[in-house]
Structure 1
Amino acid sequence: MDPALYKAATLGEVASLRKLVDPEDPSALSSTTPQLNTALHLAALHGHAAFAGEVLVRNEELLVARNDDGDTPLHLAAKAGKLEAAELLVGRALAWPQDRKSPLIMTNKAGNTALHEAVRNRRSAVAEALLDADPSHGHDLNERMESPLHMAAREGLVHVVRKIFDFTWVEAEYVPSVAVSGTALHQAVLGGHTKIVEIMLEKHAWLLDLTDSDGNNALHYAAQKNKSQLVELLLNKQAQLAYKPNGERQTPLHVAAHYGSTAAIKALLRCCPDVAEMVDSCGRNAFHISVASGKTNALRCLLRHVRPAELLNRVDNDGDTPLHLAAKMSRVQSALLLLNDHALVEVKLHAGEMDAYEMYLWKQLKQQELKRCREQQLPPLAPYSSRKTSNDKYFECIVETYILVATLIATVTFAATASIVVVFCFIWAWLDPVRFKVDQLLWGHRLTVIACLAMLVSLMTAVYITVDPESRWPAYVVIVIGMSTPAVVFLMLGKEVIFVPM
């Protein structure tokens, strides 16, 4: 493109356009930039309506010209939110010959019309102008099977949604999208736009019955996003939504428990307290789900608001109560919350592998069981087995590594005390591996860390004593490096540095 024409188009200089382009020979307007933008594309992008009108007087075919992205000038005006330029182009589009494809419905490479682009970029004024020109395209689908209504609902464009809903509608146009999350109502709930949800349900309450491809209704989405106000709104419209499961037989309460949505849990239980009794396809209730997902805040909320408390003792399809799941999955905080609930009395231990965290849980479980047995005069559980399990090979590697490290530290440095204690602790590790994992392994690990820190101190001290009389700065460099080493390790591993890597 001629640089002078490019400058005129971007600045909207109509006088320059008249000098550069002969009305009798408008071929200069056919030139493009490397992105295939014409002068009309540039004028639309920058909002120069007068310049755009002058270009169309000379070459009306540029109205349907496409750039490298498949965008027409109207697409660019819609993206940029240039209302005056968009209105000019819309007016020309309405006068476009009937036998030719209208610029209003032309799509770019993403399958988006100008209306899609206006809504996607939150250009409400341009979107309304496009809908005023032709309101029938609010349900047109792009390549992602997403309509302008889907986008407007998600973006919270209230006036755009109302304008689309005011137009004659066809029920089939509200079916769930296969590429985005459900219907336009689902999108509005996801965005937390209460006003849009109210508009939709006021017009078409039957939208509540529609689900996404996984069977989730709008209440599932509100529960996921922890939108208590929307949960209450939807339940007031149709309380039965709380009992409708998705494809995995999960109710909205299951979803809220999985995502830790405590406000949604409270709202659901206030309206439908018995929904806590429902189970999913695995036979799990909301307590199971909160434990499995590690959401202790959701579990705490359920413990406070769910009655009867006997729901805590329900088993899933594998015979596990929520406490069993907590022990099997090393959910220490969840297990302790459950153990503090006095109604939980049916406890058993599943045989199999148990790591250090599970050993800690076992101790807590055993104490709880002993207390129960004293109160009810029942025989206690059998003591845990100290037989070797399938992860003994890894356990052996850990013990050997600690012994080697501790021995080397004790040999080459002055950090012998902690290291020698570690060595003697680990020598007797094999007498009872399970008890060792619970009672001694953590201490051995922490004493090894202390020995390593002592080794650093002895190294810095030795270097300082040896080097400082001759040259101070090398000694200071070594001290700085030594002091920064623990900080770097803690920065890399965080709090994990004080726990055993089991």
Structure 2
Amino acid sequence: MAEKKLYDAATIGDVATLQQLLQGNQHLLDVVSFPCLKNVLHIAIKHGKESIVEEVLKINPELALELDSKNSSSLHLAAARGNAGIAKRLLVIAPEMCWWRDGQDMNPLHVAAVKGNEAVLEEMLRQDSLAAAARLHRGQTVLHLCAKHRQLGTLKVLVKELGHLVGARDDDGETLLHFAVMDYQLEILEYLKRSCKLEKLTTNSSGKTALDILNESVRDETTYPKMKRILENISNHSIFQNLPRYTEMTMVAAVLIATMAFQAAVSPPGGVWQEDGFDKETSRDYKAGFAVMATKHPKTYANFVHANLLSFISSTISILLLSTAGGSDQWIFVTIATYLEWLSMAAIAITYGASLVMTNPDMVEFGFSNVVYITTSIFVPVICVIFLFGSRRNGGKRLVKKVRPNCDTV
């Protein structure tokens, strides 16, 4: 009779009856066990009765540590129920419960993610986010679980804390992306695209990417084109996809070109005059420290200086922009720096050609205009190829649009 009253009190949240029963038998909470080895705390949590949970924990907090027949702890039950208040009270008593595994090898954070209970998940993540990174059956992550159970809400919560797991593979080599595609979950793909969390398509143990799986699936004419477009965009990301790495590589090239341009300015081809004098060949006066070529080939030397100056200035501006981009992730700076880098490369190539003309007797008649023509005929096609390669499978979009993705705050 007392057991039935205790069960009913826990079910409906009747604190007065609970207190009355305990006055008659102060050990009642210790001796009563309901089906599936559930205690009164389990029953109250299952029905979301926070007032009963609070009262029971005051009297006997050790009940929170007991497991039911499915090896579920009280925190597992709170995670499944979705009651953040109860979960918070339990975490105060035993925060280590975040790591406990139930009969399905899931800890409470996994359970909350599968059930879509965002508030409880956030509460437990504040207590111990590392527990959410624990692997499950066949090496699956909690993000795999979210995709498998179509829980976009809890996926967003977890990505904030565990963004590094977005590309994690299970024992079959499959990522979150593979799982989302297998279940035709367009919303998850769109979210991952907006949040810029996908860098490339990886293959599973069968050598298939998410795009391969999509193409082999039964096609939904409404969803399939949208998913394919997203996956193709991922697979065709330009060289700008990895901003930190790209910035570092471009910075090295910019510094190298700026150094070359500076060196050419202070040590011009042909050297400098060692003392003041008069050049009979050109009938021109010269002074010590002036470039010899400025006297011998003034027009070509002037063009050389202009090209060298253009190379130095464009490289130094590129360095400044890349330094800013590295600290603030501003893609527009990287885009401008890239164009300037291409310009500086072309200019330094023209500087090199002009140096050959001025220092090689056999090329004096070759002319500076031919140097510019050859350099342009090489650089323009190469740059065109870069643009075509970057946009050929993306509807002809300009490269600048690929380096300025519309990323939501994750």
The normalised TM-score by structure 2 is 0.51
How far apart are residue 163 of structure 1 and its match?
0.4
The residue aligned with 1:178 is 103
Which one-letter code corresponds to 1:301 in the other structure?
K
Structure 1 spans left out of the alignment, 5+ residues: 1-37, 45-73, 97-101, 312-341, 345-502
The residue aligned with 2:47 is 121
| Aligned with 1:245 (options 160, 165, 169) | 169
Contact 2:3/2:32, CA 8 A, preserved across alignment: no
The residue aligned with 1:160 is 86
Residue 13 of structure 2 corresponds to residue 81 of structure 1: yes
Contact 1:215/1:246, CA 8 A, preserved across alignment: yes
Residue 122 of structure 2 corresponds to residue 194 of structure 1: no
- Matched pairs, number: 238
Residue 139 of structure 2 corresponds to residue 215 of structure 1: yes
The residue aligned with 2:211 is 287
SS at match of 1:110: helix
| Aligned with 1:262 (options 168, 180, 186) | 186
How far apart are residue 162 of structure 1 and its match?
0.7
Residue 144 of structure 2 corresponds to residue 205 of structure 1: no
SS at match of 2:182: helix
Which one-letter code corresponds to 1:289 in the other structure?
I
Alpha-carbon distance between aligned partners in 2 of 1:279 and 1:91, rounded to the nearest angstrom: 64
Alpha-carbon distance between aligned partners in 2 of 1:41 and 1:157, rounded to the nearest angstrom: 25
| Aligned with 1:103 (options 1, 16, 29) | 29
Contact 2:133/2:162, CA 8 A, preserved across alignment: no
Alpha-carbon distance between aligned partners in 1 of 2:210 and 2:22, rounded to the nearest angstrom: 53
SS at match of 1:277: coil
How far apart are residue 272 of structure 1 and its match?
4.7
Change (3 A) 1:239 1:122: same
Contact 1:152/1:158, CA 8 A, preserved across alignment: yes
SS at match of 1:145: coil
| Aligned with 1:304 (options 229, 247, 250) | 229
Computed over aligned residues only, the root mean square deviation of the Cα atoms, in angstroms, reads 2.9
How far apart are residue 201 of structure 1 and its match?
0.8
SS at match of 1:103: helix
Change (3 A) 1:278 1:152: same
How far apart are residue 304 of structure 1 and its match?
2.2
Contact 2:73/2:100, CA 8 A, preserved across alignment: no
Alpha-carbon distance between aligned partners in 2 of 1:164 and 1:92, rounded to the nearest angstrom: 27
Alpha-carbon distance between aligned partners in 1 of 2:70 and 2:215, rounded to the nearest angstrom: 36
Alpha-carbon distance between aligned partners in 1 of 2:68 and 2:90, rounded to the nearest angstrom: 17
Contact 1:269/1:305, CA 8 A, preserved across alignment: yes
Alpha-carbon distance between aligned partners in 2 of 1:245 and 1:106, rounded to the nearest angstrom: 45
Contact 1:257/1:295, CA 8 A, preserved across alignment: no
Contact 1:178/1:213, CA 8 A, preserved across alignment: no
1:149-168: per-residue Cα shift (whole Å, max 9, x none)?
11111111111101011224
Alpha-carbon distance between aligned partners in 2 of 1:90 and 1:276, rounded to the nearest angstrom: 61
The residue aligned with 2:74 is 148
1:69-117: per-residue Cα shift (whole Å, max 9, x none)?
xxxxx23432343332123334555x33xxxxx6346423311111112
The sequence identity of aligned pairs, in percent, is 18
Which one-letter code corresponds to 2:144 in the other structure?
H
The normalised TM-score by structure 1 is 0.43
1:417-469: per-residue Cα shift (whole Å, max 9, x none)?
xxxxxxxxxxxxxxxxxxxxxxxxxxxxxxxxxxxxxxxxxxxxxxxxxxxxx
1:285-305: per-residue Cα shift (whole Å, max 9, x none)?
222333555363654333222
Which one-letter code corresponds to 2:39 in the other structure?
T
The residue aligned with 1:427 is none
Contact 2:211/2:231, CA 8 A, preserved across alignment: no
Residue 154 of structure 2 corresponds to residue 230 of structure 1: yes
Contact 1:78/1:126, CA 8 A, preserved across alignment: yes
Alpha-carbon distance between aligned partners in 1 of 2:189 and 2:39, rounded to the nearest angstrom: 40
Contact 2:214/2:228, CA 8 A, preserved across alignment: no
| Aligned with 1:169 (options 95, 105, 124) | 95
Alpha-carbon distance between aligned partners in 2 of 1:170 and 1:309, rounded to the nearest angstrom: 39
Change (3 A) 1:310 1:81: closer
Structure 2 spans left out of the alignment, 5+ residues: 237-391, 395-410
How far apart are residue 270 of structure 1 and its match?
3.2
Quick one: higher RCO (CA 8 Å, sep 6+), 1 or 2? 2
Alpha-carbon distance between aligned partners in 2 of 1:307 and 1:204, rounded to the nearest angstrom: 37
Contact 2:163/2:197, CA 8 A, preserved across alignment: no
How far apart are residue 137 of structure 1 and its match?
3.0
Alpha-carbon distance between aligned partners in 2 of 1:105 and 1:210, rounded to the nearest angstrom: 35
How far apart are residue 308 of structure 1 and its match?
4.7
